[in-house]
Amino acid sequence: MAKLKSHRGAAKRFKKTAAGKFKRSKAYKGHLLTGKSSKRTKHLRKSGMVDKTNLDAVRKMLPYS
């Protein structure tokens, strides 16, 4: 059987942690930042975790991670 291919877009967006969860970057920090408070943009710099409702989809896109 042939090897499964990883979804290249997903591979660039998600990293697997040692605990088996997936780390992601937060949205809404690309542009139009002058309307957002410094507190909000500071919190957007931190990484988030993939929610359990989306976990199966991410695992399917990244079979070998």
- What pLDDT score does 15 carry? 98
- What pLDDT score does 46 carry? 97
- What pLDDT score does 32 carry? 97
- What pLDDT score does 37 carry? 98
Task: For each of the domains in the chain, give its residue range(s) and CATH number, in order of start.
Answer: 8-61 (4.10.410.60)
- What pLDDT score does 39 carry? 98
Give the pLDDT confidence of 20-59 residue by residue, as tens digits.
999 999 999 999 999 999 999 999 999 999 999 999 999 9
The torsion angle over the Cα atoms of residues 14, 15, 18 and 21, rounded to 10 degrees, is 0
What token pair was written down for 64? 């070998």
**Structure-model confidence comparison of residues 7 and 65, the more confident one:** 7
